[in-house]
């Protein structure tokens, strides 16, 4: 596991002033909210004297002038690959190019390209990729909108991960200071080791305390004392996931359960590190830790490989068990200032994660059960009318892909058959099972997606509920009086 370092801020007053001015401009709205804005996260980091040495995203450019490829997809029909670029310089990904290339077949994401110019492209850790036994992520598991347009995420399930040895191409090594951030999801998580992004071992082995310096996001709390049930932003420093500066309670730690989450880590390499988190759609950063490194981690011993989606000693069957979602992230040389951190967060919230794509008549994707970290699922992809829905580990398959239509239906298409989420027998009492049935336009098949995270039946006014607040695979969905509990919290997409 990795860990993060904080370094003394060594920055000229001019540079510090520039980033403060930039932060003020973003926060007051003087910077454009379009993805074609002149300043993107890596421009902000550069202005603060901490340039990006690796910049990865499947959803948008991280430099205002970037017009190259974001990622590569490979289709199963003929094993041909295609690089997916941006709609315009500094803009969002060209999802239409992927859709055209992958039509009538399936695609996986083989490479996420480095936008920084250092050549730190990450490839999947498996045969034909960066080596190892893992597999690439499915390219169409999750679509979303950024800046009002459709894009795709890097949707990691157990056994998917990406890697590169970057120790000769700019990634900090030894006790050199480093910063990193990523935008991830608070609804597609688990406790498996370890959903990381950052600095890792070049030999893909657990080489001791301080050999890693990566952001971890998930529901694993190694040493106890994490507040709530997660997921949490922590530091994977190898030999431990740290929520603070020791193996004990950190009173500032808190869970981030929003659909889109900003996670940050910075480490000066010798004495201190900081962890920050936020809702990536609105608001500012919360400082979770800003203090000393844990005992035994000073100085840091970073090796300079890049890990995305697994722990450092990957592919040994123990550290590639995680699931998580990666939208964007960067690794920077140096210790970013708080003003830089704040300006990056402002840029992220201005990117419009999850906004309406317009003209589609609905929103599609997995319906995440927030309290369980799982997805609403049609058992065995059954097309039998009246099949009661359940929650199950998110897998990106069609039996978990729901569309909320303009007429408030929640539809799923299985084997060419479109079915609607349905209150069985038009029931309006607690315990009414929620099943799939032929779409008929009745009010027992109409669902309101509310701003508080609940999904309510238009006919009954009751909430979509996971029976008994269970978090187990196969727990059934039903209607129940709305009570504000986590087993009635859902996010679509």
**3-class SS of residue 97:** helix
Catalytically annotated residue among 238, 341, 377, 465:
238
Q: Which two tokens stand for residue 47?
A: 């202005």
d(CA 264, CA 276): 5
If one counts every other C-beta atom within 10 angstroms of the C-beta of residue 417, the result is: 11
Cβ proximity of 326 and 70 under 8 Å: no
Does the annotation count 328 as an active-site position? no
Structure tokens at 15: 């540079």
How many angstroms separate the CA atoms of 51 and 77, rounded?
40
**Cα(284)–Cα(338) distance, integer angstroms:** 12
- Distances, alpha carbon 16 to alpha carbons 50, 116, 334, 336, 338, in Å: 11, 22, 13, 10, 10
**What is the DSSP code (8-state) at residue 39?**
-
* Cα Dmax for the chain: 70
Answer yes or no: are the C-beta atoms of 393 and 378 closer than 8 Å: no
Residue 27: phi, psi to the nearest 5? -70, -25
Active site residue 236: no
- How many Cα neighbours within 13 Å face the side chain of 68? 16
Torsions phi, psi for 19 (to 5 deg): -75, -30
If you count them, how many residues does the chain have? 493
Name the catalytic one among 114, 313, 328, 435: 313
Token output for 432: 């009414």
Integer Cα distance of 477 and 68 in angstroms: 44
Cα separation, 285 vs 400, whole angstroms: 32
Catalytic residues: 238, 313
């Amino acid at each position: 596991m990795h860990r993060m370092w904080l370094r003394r801020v060594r920055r000229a007053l001019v540079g510090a002033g520039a980033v403060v001015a930039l932060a003020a401009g973003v926060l007051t709205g003087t910077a454009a909210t379009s993805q074609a804005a002149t300043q993107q996260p890596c421009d902000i980091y550069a202005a603060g004297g901490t340039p990006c040495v690796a910049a990865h995203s499947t959803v948008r450019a991280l430099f205002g002038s970037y017009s190259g490829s974001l990622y590569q997809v490979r289709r199963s029909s003929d094993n041909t690959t295609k690089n997916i670029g941006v709609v315009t310089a500094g803009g969002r990904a060209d999802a239409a190019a992927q859709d055209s290339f992958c039509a009538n077949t399936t695609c996986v994401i083989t490479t996420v390209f480095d936008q920084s110019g250092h050549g730190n492209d990450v490839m999947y850790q498996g045969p034909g990729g960066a080596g190892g036994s893992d597999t690439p992520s499915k390219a169409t598991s999750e679509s979303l909108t950024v800046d009002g347009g459709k894009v795709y995420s890097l949707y990691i399930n157990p056994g998917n991960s990406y890697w590169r040895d970057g120790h000769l191409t700019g990634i900090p090594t030894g006790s050199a200071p480093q910063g990193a951030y990523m935008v991830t999801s608070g609804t597609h998580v688990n406790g498996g080791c370890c959903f990381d992004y950052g600095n890792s071992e070049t030999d893909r082995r657990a080489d001791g305390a301080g050999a890693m310096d990566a952001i971890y996001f998930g529901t694993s709390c190694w040493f106890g004392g994490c507040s709530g049930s997660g997921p949490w932003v922590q530091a994977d420093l190898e030999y431990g996931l740290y929520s603070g500066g020791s193996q004990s309670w950190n009173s500032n730690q808190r869970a981030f359960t929003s659909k889109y989450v900003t996670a940050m880590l910075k480490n000066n390499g010798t004495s201190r590190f900081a962890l920050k988190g936020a809702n990536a759609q609105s608001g500012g950063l919360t400082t979770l830790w800003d203090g000393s490194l844990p005992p035994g981690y000073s100085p840091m011993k970073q090796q300079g490989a890049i890990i995305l989606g697994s722990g450092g000693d990957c592919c040994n069957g123990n550290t590639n068990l995680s699931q998580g979602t990666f939208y964007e992230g960067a690794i920077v040389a140096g210790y970013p200032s708080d003003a830089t951190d704040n300006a990056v967060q402002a840029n992220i919230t201005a990117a419009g994660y999850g906004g309406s794509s317009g003209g589609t008549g609905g929103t599609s994707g997995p319906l995440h059960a927030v309290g369980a970290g799982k997805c609403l699922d049609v058992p065995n992809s059954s097309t039998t009318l009246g099949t009661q829905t359940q929650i199950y580990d998110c897998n990106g398959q069609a039996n978990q892909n729901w569309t909320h239509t303009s007429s408030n239906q929640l539809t799923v298409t299985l084997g060419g058959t479109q079915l609607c989420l349905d209150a069985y027998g038009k029931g309006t009492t607690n315990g009414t099972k929620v099943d799939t049935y032929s779409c008929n336009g009745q009010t027992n098949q109409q669902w309101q997606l509310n701003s508080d995270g609940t999904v309510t039946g238009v006919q009954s006014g009751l909430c979509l509920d996971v029976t008994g607040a269970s978090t187990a695979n196969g727990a059934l969905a039903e209607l129940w009086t709305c009570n504000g509990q986590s087993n009635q919290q859902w996010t679509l997409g």
